[in-house]
Structure 1
């Protein structure tokens, strides 16, 4: 029996700070496999290990479906766990009154829903968004934008003659987006005109001739702020945060590269998280920080399990780094996922067997080996050869780009529909136990932090 469970008391203090970590596509299967991956990396068998957040005292399960789909995408789920409202697939920051692609439904703000970032800002707290994807991608976008289509990241993506605002524009000009103090991730191209090139010589993607990075700087200065735009790891690590009150860090033209492929010019998730906490902690009223490990999801879509597990391990490192920087008595930390994936973990291998390799029991009935990890669908499908399953012994499974076997051929592996885990530590973390709808999460956070228009712990 774990003694802390016997002796622990409920923390009912107001959460001054809140950090919400989101592993995009981080299924429970992904967690189990990552334990082994990480453990074996350091000479252990692996199964007995816990990721940093798996040691949190309270856990629960969240149901992830959209209003109109039984398997969620990152847009409808992001709207749920960031605003408290279930939405339709493919839509960001809008109620289910708006179907995907309905520009008229987006305009006017009638169906717009705001959530944790907005509530924290109105309570006088500092706010931040950190991600390893484009900062305009569906998950981070749900924290500040309202879009009838998650793909409308830049004006170039909008339908012809559309009068809707793209997501990048909403980050710079929107009421919520423009007030975020720290934004870090990728996606520079969505902020620059095609006539401009970024710091690495990559052309912009916009067709409206705007330089939204420069506009962000001018807007912040016009409000009396001291903003700083950065675009590489050295700038991040050497930045004197005491000299600035807001930071925009765009470290790649598109998504940040996978950790296994990143150069020294690109910061890792834990570094961005640490720097964000440093800056946001200067606010005497506390802060709300949203951190996404977004490339877990993209790796799963490619059925590249090695990369997916490594990105999950990076998220765990970021959580561990955050824990060391905050007061656990006044900081609520939540770690969860938006949806699962179709990766399975099977066979009857002996302890110590390479999680990314073959099972070490008998071959399948066709006398060929099979992998411990595989997918229900995706690009890893390989056609039978002479009426026999593809022999995986012929492949280089140590290559990070090896696509793990899939049952159904499809160019991009799909999400899964099962519940995802929720881990909680800090004030009112006991609220996050049990099984609940995904859109319960932000309401419970708001209750603990005394933010938002609803019932809070300060009104008890």
Structure 2
């Protein structure tokens, strides 16, 4: 799309002003909502597409960050600050271009994170449970996977001499971050412990090995996240939790293999080490801050050795990657939004969403719209919904109170919460202990009385309809938010694999296919 010529822009502006003059006589002219919408229209009319080449590309994935999750997080953020949550805006709301992404996989109406990340970073739909391979590869078929590999935009960036990085609050070998570099017919093959002998014999490598020994260009400049156990041998004690050991069965210490690659390759595992890294030195950084996933944002302060926030990791990654004159491609994943939803725990899901939004704000502050394409999206949805008719300002984690200030009761005469899940642990009544069988039947149609229940507790599990030990993903569309070169190509409803093609076009990576 070309920029508007001055004459066309003036014409468009005059057309925009004409109805405003006529509207001066409308009775709602002085209404606060009316004037706010007029101001928003004026702001949007002034937005011009940027069509220069994107030197840098940043894809930010809020894992499981459904539209309802964004809405609830926006309300929560405002309420925490003591302002109106419903009309509040968070960083992701400031993006000028949005679209809806269709997240189904090649073989699934509802996807997991493996095919969805492959769609976003490699441009193809594929099967559930596989990463970095095409639709022809059956789950678990190593030989087919070796023949069916697809190339990610990160591999293209390395081939073009750009810098690359991955940041995640999940294990760095988990599905979404692994999509940047790994090719596997089973997303769970994160270390040799999970990799079957027949797959090893056929030539498949575990995901942690693929990261450290990535053959693309000169490898990642920065990798920050969790999953330390998947890099350490079973014989080695963890440096933070010495009562635990690694899980690799091949006696290899991949963190040592990383540092041996050059005098400037560094490995860190705690806040102190993270803070001490001098990015100006050009160090190649591997930071693994937990044995498995990093802590939820709500629990991060309790971590024994300390963990950086996702915003802090984002800032460090950007400072390191910005040193490359050729530009960079970076993935940032808010991975634990998804995990909290699976647990039916909306409070932790929304706190992690706000931490992810803080990382978005960091990106916007540290990059230029003229040369950096920023794409924020989710890989899939979750079944959380915002329901009932709560009054404006009602606590987002609270029980539904109507506009008259009365506690709303369901058909069984009991109160209910604004947030709920279609399925999940919250359907087990009464709540089961850790050692109780979550598959055993509960009395049909009986709901707990929430009158005296503290639904605002960080540990509260929202009610669910279908009893399941873990809440599932959902199949509804998710939002794409974009800013920067060619961000205007994100409009309407698109296929999830379209995201790759816009990033490729904007950056010129994979230009032979454009």
Relative to the length of structure 1, the TM-score reads: 0.95
Q: Which of the residues 6, 30, 34 maps onto 2:73?
A: 34
Q: Which of the residues 240, 247, 251 maps onto 2:289?
A: 251
Aligned partner of 1:112 in structure 2 is 149
Aligned partner of 2:503 in structure 1 is 445
Q: Is the 8 A contact 2:399 2:455 kept in 1?
A: no
Aligned partner of 2:190 in structure 1 is 153
Whole-angstrom distance in 2 between the partners of 1:34 and 1:162: 42
Relative to structure 1, is the Cα distance of residues 191 and 40 closer, same or farther in structure 2, using a 3 angstrom cutoff?
Answer: same
Q: Which of the residues 198, 203, 209 maps onto 1:169?
A: 209
User: 1:67, CA displacement in angstroms?
Assistant: 0.3
Whole-angstrom distance in 1 between the partners of 2:383 and 2:155: 34
Q: Is the 8 A contact 1:227 1:244 kept in 2?
A: no
Whole-angstrom distance in 1 between the partners of 2:217 and 2:194: 19
Question: Is the counterpart of residue 307 in structure 1 residue 344 in structure 2?
Answer: no
Name the SS of the counterpart of 2:426 in structure 1. coil
Aligned partner of 1:211 in structure 2 is 253
User: 1:454, CA displacement in angstroms?
Assistant: 3.9
Whole-angstrom distance in 2 between the partners of 1:404 and 1:138: 26
Aligned partner of 1:261 in structure 2 is 299
Aligned partner of 1:132 in structure 2 is 169
Question: Is the counterpart of residue 391 in structure 1 residue 449 in structure 2?
Answer: yes
User: 1:322, CA displacement in angstroms?
Assistant: 1.2
Task: Please show how residues 71-90 of structure 1 align to structure 2 within 5 Å.
Answer: 71-90=110-129
Aligned partner of 2:376 in structure 1 is 335
Question: Is the counterpart of residue 420 in structure 1 residue 457 in structure 2?
Answer: no
Aligned partner of 1:368 in structure 2 is 414
Name the SS of the counterpart of 1:155 in structure 2. coil
Q: Is the 8 A contact 2:165 2:331 kept in 1?
A: yes
Deviations 1:174-198 (A, max 9, x none): 3139711110000000001100012
Q: Is the 8 A contact 1:170 1:177 kept in 2?
A: no
User: 1:376, CA displacement in angstroms?
Assistant: 0.4
Gaps of 5+ in 1: none
Deviations 1:147-168 (A, max 9, x none): 1111110010122443221101
Q: Is the 8 A contact 2:64 2:378 kept in 1?
A: yes
Question: Is the counterpart of residue 239 in structure 1 residue 297 in structure 2?
Answer: no
Whole-angstrom distance in 2 between the partners of 1:454 and 1:421: 29
Q: Higher relative contact order at CA 8 Å, sep ≥6: structure 1 or structure 2?
A: 1
Q: Is the 8 A contact 1:171 1:178 kept in 2?
A: no
Whole-angstrom distance in 2 between the partners of 1:366 and 1:251: 47
Name the SS of the counterpart of 2:482 in structure 1. strand
Q: Is the 8 A contact 1:228 1:244 kept in 2?
A: no
Deviations 1:409-456 (A, max 9, x none): 111100000111000001110011111110010111010011124445
Q: Which of the residues 88, 102, 106 maps onto 1:67?
A: 106
Whole-angstrom distance in 2 between the partners of 1:385 and 1:89: 34
Whole-angstrom distance in 2 between the partners of 1:173 and 1:239: 22
Whole-angstrom distance in 1 between the partners of 2:444 and 2:147: 59
User: 1:326, CA displacement in angstroms?
Assistant: 1.2
Whole-angstrom distance in 1 between the partners of 2:484 and 2:333: 20
Name the SS of the counterpart of 1:352 in structure 2. coil
Q: Which of the residues 488, 491, 510 maps onto 1:430?
A: 488
Deviations 1:293-327 (A, max 9, x none): 00000000001000001111111100101111112
Q: Is the 8 A contact 1:63 1:418 kept in 2?
A: yes
Relative to structure 1, is the Cα distance of residues 80 and 377 closer, same or farther in structure 2, using a 3 angstrom cutoff?
Answer: same
Q: Is the 8 A contact 1:331 1:426 kept in 2?
A: yes
Q: Is the 8 A contact 1:232 1:251 kept in 2?
A: yes
Whole-angstrom distance in 1 between the partners of 2:455 and 2:134: 44
Name the SS of the counterpart of 2:320 in structure 1. helix
How many aligned positions are there? 450
Whole-angstrom distance in 2 between the partners of 1:61 and 1:127: 27
Deviations 1:352-408 (A, max 9, x none): 101011001320111100000000000111336696421123433233221111100
Deviations 1:216-257 (A, max 9, x none): 1112x1xxx611111112222232111233100001111001
Q: Which of the residues 316, 319, 332 maps onto 1:278?
A: 319
Deviations 1:197-220 (A, max 9, x none): 12112310111101001011112x
Which of the pair has more CA radius of gyration?
Answer: 2
Name the SS of the counterpart of 2:168 in structure 1. strand
Aligned partner of 1:345 in structure 2 is 386
Aligned partner of 1:401 in structure 2 is 459
User: 1:43, CA displacement in angstroms?
Assistant: 0.2
Aligned partner of 1:21 in structure 2 is 60
Q: Which of the residues 342, 353, 358 maps onto 1:317?
A: 358
